[in-house]
Amino acid sequence: MTEGSRRYGIASRKEGAARATVLGRWALPWLVILVVLVVWQAVVAIGHVPDFVLPSPTAVLHSIWYNQSELWSDTLTTGGETLAGLAISVAIAVPIAVGFSYSRLLETAVYPLVVASQAVPKLAIAPLFILWFGVGFQSKLLIAMLIAFFPTLVNTVAGLATVPPESVYLVRSMGASEWQIFVHVRMPYALPSFFAGVKVASTLAVIGALIGEFVGATSGLGYTLLEANANLQLDLVFACIVLLSVLGIALFYAIVLLERLVVPWASQRAEASR
């Protein structure tokens, strides 16, 4: 074997490894899920486990299919509460974070209070919100917003703090206005961290909406889940859990997608260091 072909051999093996990694990253998690489902199905079938203790995966699927119209409208309700809560939390957290980055006084005065407010368990306030804002959309939105607010705020504050002072000096030497400095330097530097916060917030917003529905509601996946649980319809309970998970995952990956579009440089950097 010549030096050249040996080198080619190494190169193609490396390529093979890369292909295997890509395949593994996408296929392996699905394979694991499939194995778990098969084992679950087998245990229920072989052990004759009754449906009100543990429904089989096929029973859950059947329940989703059978209740599809009701579950679809529940998913829309919970999804709407989650999305609205998340959107409003971001709309409030970002200006506050920007305000902190410009005013040390504001940060010292308000930030400790915001952090302290996180010690209050949201679950404990939920009944109050139902009392004040009713069993409808509003109370759920507010609970989701309250829970999702903090990670976005903290991460945006942290992101704005990573802006190198020299970059600010540089554009200032070009005669930049504060607004230009913000648009060209501060904001792009903070965006990756902001998105990290919103990703965490998105999963928390789902939980917020769910808490609200548990405490008092007339529709939504949380409401249906509690009802089904009371009636020992465990296949429907599992159906709700599946849909809640799908909702959370879909929201999470929608944000990941948005992040790739808005801050491609950050995800490329993460890709390169992998």
Partner 1 sequence: MTMRKGSGPRNGGPEPGLDGGSDIPVSVLDVSHSYPSRGALAFALSRISLDIAPGQFVSLVGPSGCGKSTLLMIVAGLRRPTSGHVEIDSVPVTEPYSSLGVMFQTDQLLEWLTVTDNILLQARIRRLPEGQARARAEVLLEEAGLSSFRQFFPRQLSGGMRQRVAICRTLLHDPRLLLMDEPFGALDALTRDRMLRFLQRTWLRRRATVLFVTHSVDEAVFLSDRVIVMSSEAGAIVDDVPVVLPRPRATLTRSQPAFGTAVARIMSYFENDDD
Phi, psi of 116 (to 5 degrees): -60, -35
| Contact call for residues 67 and 56 (beta carbons, < 8 A) | no
- CA 24, CA 18: separation in Å to the nearest integer? 10
167: contact with partner 1 by CB under 8 A: yes
Among 1, 46, 119, 272, binds partner 1 (CB under 8 A): 272
At 237, list the tokens: 């309970």
Among 169, 178, 250, 260, binds partner 1 (CB under 8 A): 169
Cβ closer to partner 1: 110 or 170? Answer: 170
- CA 199, CA 152: separation in Å to the nearest integer? 8
Span near partner 1 by CB under 8 A; candidates 89-97, 104-112, 144-152, 258-266: 258-266
Span near partner 1 by CB under 8 A; candidates 138-146, 162-170, 196-204, 235-243: 162-170
Quickly count: other Cβ atoms within 10 Å of residue 39's Cβ.
11
Span near partner 1 by CB under 8 A; candidates 64-72, 81-89, 183-191, 200-208: 183-191
Among 12, 21, 68, 180, binds partner 1 (CB under 8 A): 180
Span near partner 1 by CB under 8 A; candidates 101-109, 150-158, 245-253, 257-265: 257-265
Q: How far is the CB of 171 from partner 1 (least distance, A)?
A: 6
Q: How far is the CB of 159 from partner 1 (least distance, A)?
A: 14
Q: How far is the CB of 25 from partner 1 (least distance, A)?
A: 23
185: contact with partner 1 by CB under 8 A: yes
Among 13, 14, 260, 269, binds partner 1 (CB under 8 A): 269
Scan residues 186-225 and list those touching partner 1 (CB under 8 A). Answer: 188
173: contact with partner 1 by CB under 8 A: yes
Among 8, 102, 253, 265, binds partner 1 (CB under 8 A): 265
104: contact with partner 1 by CB under 8 A: no
Among 176, 226, 242, 256, binds partner 1 (CB under 8 A): 176
49: contact with partner 1 by CB under 8 A: no
Interface residues with partner 1 (CB under 8 A)?
Answer: 164, 166-167, 169-176, 180, 184-185, 188, 263-265, 268-269, 272
